[in-house]
Chains A and B, each alone.
Chain A
Amino acid sequence: MKKKVLTVDDSRTMRDMVSFTLKGAGYDVVEAADGQQALGVIGANKVDLVITDLNMPVMDGLTLIRRLRATPAHRTLPILMLTTEADEKKKSEGRAVGATGWIVKPFNPEKLISVVQKVCG
């Protein structure tokens, strides 16, 4: 049974890259362009991991994480956030709302896969 990863990013380029890389590594990937869409996708799919950008229209990444953590079913769902550079403030904000970890943009495919394996096997 393939693990299903949801990539949430308003940038099509990023979604494409994440999606392509993870599919190549044997994951199922579903996409959403913002937090709101992501909630919809999670409502309709069993997702094993969420990779979300922070800065997005409609609903940003931190809000998405907060909303997910507020739902019992998703309290332990791995959520990785994408940050540019090593934004300490963003990281601690992310951790504070319950992010599992982070991926620093830009990333190479190998790094992405290794991080994903680290949090969802």
Chain B
Amino acid sequence: MEDLSRFKQTYFDESAELLEVAESGLLRLTPGEVDSDEVNAIFRAVHSIKGGGGAFGFTELVAFAHEFETVMDGVRNNTVPVTTELVDTLIRANDLLGQMLAYAREGDPAPAGTTDGTVAALRRHLSGGAPQAQAPAAAPAAPPPTPVYAPTYADDEDDEAGLFGDAMAAIAAARAEEDPVPPGKLRWTIVFRPRSDLLMSGNEPAFMLRALRRLGDATVECHTDALPNLQNLEAELLHLSWTVTLLADADVDLDKINDVFEFVADDCDIRITAEAPPPAAPEAPPPVTDPVPVATPPTVVAAIPEAPKAEPPKAEAARPRPNGGGAEHAGLTSHTIRVDLDKIDRLVNMVGEMVITQAMIAEHVRELPPGEFQELLEGLEQLAQHTRELRESVMSIRAQPVSSVFSRMPRLVRECAATTGKEVQLVTSGETTEVDKTVVENLVDPLTHMIRNSIDHGLEGPDERERVGKPRAGTVHLSAQHRSGRIVIEITDDGRGINRPKVLSKAIEKGLVQPGATLSDEEIDNLIFLPGFSTADQVSNLSGRGVGMDVVRRNITSLGGRIGVYSTPGEGSRFVLSLPLTLAVLDGMVISVGEERFVLPLTNIVESLRPKAADLHGLVGKCDVMMARGEYVRLVYLHQLFGIPGAVADPTHALVVLVETEDGSRLGLVVDEVLGQQQVVIKSLEANFRRLDGVAAATILGDGRVALILDVAGLREMSRHMDSRAPRPPSPPVAALPAPALEPV
């Protein structure tokens, strides 16, 4: 079965896509507004899954898909009415089909009774809503017994054809006497008299005769007696008939011979008789009744075969790959290919290593005497450019539109609306925004939870909405867009907004905030991201499923992303989520503090400058601010934040890198030096260690050393906490700073 199993991967990939097609179709299926194209698409999806499943012998899956398909067929033919209940059942069936696929993929049998309930529900819709006495078990749910195709052969009593056949049989019998059948063989006599229009169906008697030859030694006699005169001859009509004598091995049975004429059984007269070796032969096969009853139907392959035993044709073994030479079909196949993700990942890793190597070479070249190696430098510059383009091309292979995640949300909204009794309208935009596959995959859980949260906590019930003058149905808007090299996803609802007094009192009650603390509105809103925080008075069915917004935030930060919330009481909330476009490589600025080097994502950097003393001010003894381009920005001393010894403490001797977070707020990062810009490969710190505040990830620099990639928004958070630790740590107002205590490096 090696020859079929090689297609399993294609099958499962395709099935996954088909499931999505079916699901989104089902979600759009609305009672009273049935779009037949949509219904057809769903039907086809299920049908294809079933068809392929049959090829691999996934019996349970096929049996279930058949039930599903039958109902979809009913919908297609308008015999099964579309009701909300039906749609729910179909959605469940689609889910179950996905599960069955998963079992099939793992090679596990589905647990007994897995499909019973859904099958019963499906059948109820078929029987016009009347519940059946008992849900049939899964196994009997297999497709109905294959109706056997019974060809209509000419009756024996039939006029001339019958006589003709009889005559031929007599001739055969006569010959048998003078030419006995050798032991272990059977001699078949096949009289084949096609109707004159046989050719019009594309059948060609010559190929059938050739097929008979493949079964044994065949002698073909052609009868031309029915040929009309030349002037009456029509090229497309057939006037010949044949008698074939076939000496075949005993394993060639009637079915095999009938099979040859399978397609023309309705369009011809055919008589088949068999003759065994003389009974005297010791090793003779059991004698065959003579003549063999012609009414025996030809085989029809059962709907669900046993694992096909066929050996692949010999030539196949020599072929290196399936689809080899597929590219020759110029213009026939689509312009996409399917590539194993592992291959792309290897490519991505390789590009990553190349980026590191290139950085290493660049670092060594920097030490060469200037001006002497102009061509080398130019070559390297070009190499850097090509590497960057290569990286972008490779990353774009992995890019996927977020629609694959967004498309799951209508369903979720529907479920949440049903559970909460709220009316919800989901609006999505920016579905085509592309982002790395890994990012897309990791978006599912956070988005699911946030949308649940918006419906559960954000939106009011329809009655309450009406009272406050809002439409009964609340709206949740899910959008995606690219912004400064990141993807920004927003979830906006027009609900009641965050109930700040309630959040605050809850936080105090949970011991997350000291009583009497004064928090800004923004700070209160962000309390919902703290571990152990949940505002639902009762643990609701939705949001209370063991995860809170803290988990969402953790998921997002682990992807190098950030999440924030903006809320207006009575008007709604907006969750803003920003993520890197790729998790593999970024353009960064290498900076140094003390002996440590860090990487700042280029997308965060506005500029770097060396401030004059006059630009620096202390702000209410809490922090230092700097005047930059007509704006005050807060200074953040990286060496303080990270406890790095030997750093330049005086901003007028150090450098200030002006950075901007996704929400547009700026701060000045005080560092010793800016070493240069380079592409870095993002490496996980968490794989072998853990997440660290203010650190997005790590990377390996040209000299093989590790450098941490900074998380600017995380640094801002850290600095806020430092600022609020009154009294302030021993960093006197900048103006009064003594000369920097420079330690030997």
Contacts and interface: CB of A to CB of B under 8 A. Distances in A.
Direct contact of A and B (CB under 8 A): yes
Interface of A: 10-14, 16-17, 19-21, 23-26, 30-33, 37, 41, 44, 55-57, 75-79, 82, 84-86, 88, 91, 95, 98-102, 104-111, 113-114, 117-121
Given A100-B201, A105-B54, A118-B207, A13 B313 contact: no
Contact of A25 (B40, B54, B316, B329): B316
Contact of B147 (A31, A77, A86, A114): A86
Contacts of B55: 13-14, 17, 105-107
B4 A91 contact: no
Contacts of B300: 86, 104
Instruction: Pick from B56, B236, B301, B303 the residue with the most CB of A within 10 Å.
Output: B301
21 contacts: A13-B55, A17-B7, A19-B322, A20-B6, A25-B315, A31-B333, A57-B44, A75-B200, A75-B236, A76-B200, A84-B51, A86-B303, A88-B149, A99-B202, A100-B202, A104-B303, A105-B54, A107-B301, A111-B301, A114-B259, A118-B263
A12 B316 contact: no
- Lowest 5 CB-CB distances: which A-B pairs, in order? A108-B308, A24-B316, A110-B310, A101-B263, A100-B202
Contacts of A105: 51, 54-55
Interface stretch (B208-216, B247-255, B465-473, B636-644): B208-216
Contacts of B334: 33
Given A30-B329, A111-B301, A23 B203 contact: no
A99 B263 CA distance: 9
A114 B3 contact: no
Contacts of A13: 7, 10-11, 14, 48, 52, 55
A7 to B, nearest CB: 10
A119 B14 contact: no
Among B41, B47, B332, residue most surrounded by chain A Cβ atoms (within 10 Å)? B332
Interface residues of B, number: 67
B47 A98 contact: no
Contact of B263 (A11, A12, A100): A100
B49 to A, nearest CB: 9
B325 interface: yes
Interface in B285-323: 300-301, 303-305, 308-313, 315-316, 319, 322-323
B161 interface: no
B201, B311, B316, B324 interface centre (most CB from chain A within 10 Å): B201
B714 interface: no
Contacts of A55: 43-44, 47
Nearest to A107: B301
Given A76-B200, A120-B207, A57 B40 contact: yes
Contacts, number: 176
A117 B10 contact: no
Nearest to A109: B310
A102 B260 CA distance: 12
Interface in B467-486: none
A56 B37 CA distance: 11
Interface in B137-159: 143, 146-149
Chain A binding site: helix, strand, loop or mixed by DSSP? mixed
B550 interface: no
Interface in B177-219: 199-204, 206-208, 210-211, 214
Contacts of B329: 30-31
Nearest to B149: A86
A120 to B, nearest CB: 6
B202 A78 contact: yes
Contacts of A57: 40-41, 44
Contacts of B7: 13, 16-17, 20
Given A20-B322, A109-B313, A114-B211, A88 B50 contact: no
Contacts of B301: 104, 106-107, 111
B146 A14 contact: no
A44 B471 CA distance: 58
B240 to A, nearest CB: 15
Contacts of A78: 202-204
Interface centre among A13, A21, A104 (most CB of B within 10 A): A13
B319 A24 contact: yes
A88 B263 contact: no
A111 B310 contact: yes
A91 B151 CA distance: 12
Contact of B332 (A31, A56, A100): A31
B262 interface: yes
Contacts of A32: 332
Contacts of B14: 11-13
A21 to B, nearest CB: 7
A84 B315 contact: no
A76 B206 CA distance: 13
A68 to B, nearest CB: 9
A92 B207 CA distance: 22
Interface string B247-282: 000000000000110110010000000000000000
